[in-house]
Chain A
């Protein structure tokens, strides 16, 4: 199912726009009916949700939805489990709002936020640049 099918299934909302608010920082952006949350963010000035593949595979854009209704397209089970989904933890790039949303940014659990050196003890490669950028985001 694509997003336009979904808008058809909710005829009242076609011309509607929803407000997506990032809880921790109170930044928010508009999302057109039928548009996914990550695309809407990328079209705004907000940069709070990490952007990866934009296609439901990598888990970079994981968010949890504290309030509001939404639908999702298929998400890779490697990054969103059934229990994640039941707990309203979803991928922003596969989530289409049906109302205003309040969301919390989870992001991928990778690279580990503690990786301070180039190569951490578990062999993880992380760069100073990626680190700085990750910090800038918070």
Chain B
């Protein structure tokens, strides 16, 4: 197996101010599927239709918006053990702790740690498989290309997040030297190309699985992103967002970085979401793509060639 170690983004836990409007947004507008909720209703677990694992999004009602943590699925319990030892010895992380199996429904032990940019990350190896409901003669047998009864925008998966934080260098070191990610694209200052402003990181064949932008804040979420198959679906997403009076931030447009076609919008608690299509296939031997700070405009929004005011200043 060529793709080993950390496999993919497994879940993102988001704080929402009020659960009812949040669920309306994530289920009816975005089109995720609810798979479980806590008895007291404080947390709801959801997945996108083409994800086989039990959940990829956790919503928790809280007093402030933002991200609680981001979980990564690794290929085996042995890999989990090895990576935990590496995290413990690298000295880059704080607040290391184990979360017992079952604390998330259908999920094995999770190892949680705080990375240099302040975000909580988790690694886990096991999550119950619910399937994608495409099989016609049992799960994954003679499948249809997509299931019936999809709602709203209906992305296929939770794909990546863009996070804001201060110690970008520490986080980059952790992801590349300890967790086995590669840098697909970087934004640096032209005067001092060693000073990184943005790091786009992948653990797979995707152009990015997570990205960080240097900002003098800790543990902030810029957006959580979900995958659509095509530009036409991004346009359709824009139609659905307008029809449902969902606040669109920008788009549909294209990112220079990753070449994805995109639309940004806000959930009812002000957390930014993205749905996107396209992008390229990453291989570990692909040369790193570099963008200079003076070209940040087209790097982020390729058509407008300038950042909208909200890109740098609006986050949760």
Q: Which residues of A contact B (CB under 8 A)?
A: 50-58, 60, 74-79, 108, 110-111, 118-119, 122-127, 129-130, 133-134
Given contacts A58-B316, A125-B197, A125-B312, contact A53 B213 (CB under 8 A): no
Is A55 within 8 A of B309, CB to CB?
no
B293 contact from A75, A108, A111, A119, Cβ within 8 A: A119
Is there a chain A Cβ closer than 8 Å to B17's Cβ? yes
13 A-B pairs with CB atoms under 8 Å apart are A50-B313, A57-B270, A58-B270, A58-B315, A60-B310, A60-B314, A76-B66, A79-B64, A108-B313, A110-B217, A126-B312, A127-B312, A130-B309
Residues of chain B with a CB closer than 8 A to A126's CB? 312
Is there a chain A Cβ closer than 8 Å to B216's Cβ? yes
A122→B167 CA distance, assembly (Å): 11
Give the interface size class of chain B.
Answer: 35 or more
Is B64 within 8 A of A78, CB to CB?
yes
Residues of chain A with a CB closer than 8 A to B247's CB? 53-55
A60→B65 CA distance, assembly (Å): 14
Is B316 within 8 A of A57, CB to CB?
yes
B268 contact from A55, A79, A130, Cβ within 8 A: A55
Is A76 within 8 A of B17, CB to CB?
yes
Is there a chain A Cβ closer than 8 Å to B18's Cβ? yes
Residues of chain B with a CB closer than 8 A to A58's CB? 65, 270, 313-316
Closest to A75 in B: B17
Given contacts A53-B270, A53-B272, A130-B312, contact A123 B293 (CB under 8 A): no
A108→B316 CA distance, assembly (Å): 12
Residues of chain B with a CB closer than 8 A to A130's CB? 307, 309, 312-313
A60→B168 CA distance, assembly (Å): 24
The smallest C-beta distance from B54 to any residue of chain A, in angstroms, reads 27
Residues of chain B with a CB closer than 8 A to A53's CB? 247, 249, 266, 270-272, 314, 316
Is B316 within 8 A of A127, CB to CB?
no
Q: Which residues of B contact A (CB under 8 A)?
A: 17-18, 63-66, 166, 168, 189, 195, 197, 213-217, 247, 249, 266-272, 293-294, 296-297, 306-307, 309-310, 312-316
B314 contact from A52, A56, A134, Cβ within 8 A: A52
Is B307 within 8 A of A55, CB to CB?
no
Closest to A53 in B: B270
A127→B299 CA distance, assembly (Å): 13
Residues of chain B with a CB closer than 8 A to A127's CB? 296-297, 306-307, 312
The smallest C-beta distance from B12 to any residue of chain A, in angstroms, reads 16
A33→B270 CA distance, assembly (Å): 23
Residues of chain A with a CB closer than 8 A to B269's CB? 55-57, 76
A55→B269 CA distance, assembly (Å): 5
Is B216 within 8 A of A122, CB to CB?
yes
Closest to B25 in A: A55
B294 contact from A55, A118, A124, Cβ within 8 A: A118
The smallest C-beta distance from A4 to any residue of chain B, in angstroms, reads 14
Given contacts A57-B17, A78-B66, A124-B216, contact A110 B313 (CB under 8 A): yes
Q: Which 6 residue pairs are nearest across A and B when measured between Cβ atoms?
A: A57-B270, A53-B270, A57-B65, A78-B64, A52-B314, A55-B270
The smallest C-beta distance from B47 to any residue of chain A, in angstroms, reads 23
The smallest C-beta distance from B123 to any residue of chain A, in angstroms, reads 26
A61→B63 CA distance, assembly (Å): 18
Closest to A42 in B: B247
The smallest C-beta distance from B77 to any residue of chain A, in angstroms, reads 36
Is A129 within 8 A of B307, CB to CB?
yes
Is A74 within 8 A of B314, CB to CB?
no
Closest to B192 in A: A119
Closest to A122 in B: B216
Residues of chain B with a CB closer than 8 A to A75's CB? 17
A125 contact from B64, B215, B249, B270, Cβ within 8 A: B215
A119→B296 CA distance, assembly (Å): 12
A36→B225 CA distance, assembly (Å): 28
A76→B307 CA distance, assembly (Å): 25
Closest to B164 in A: A125
Is B296 within 8 A of A134, CB to CB?
no
A76→B293 CA distance, assembly (Å): 31
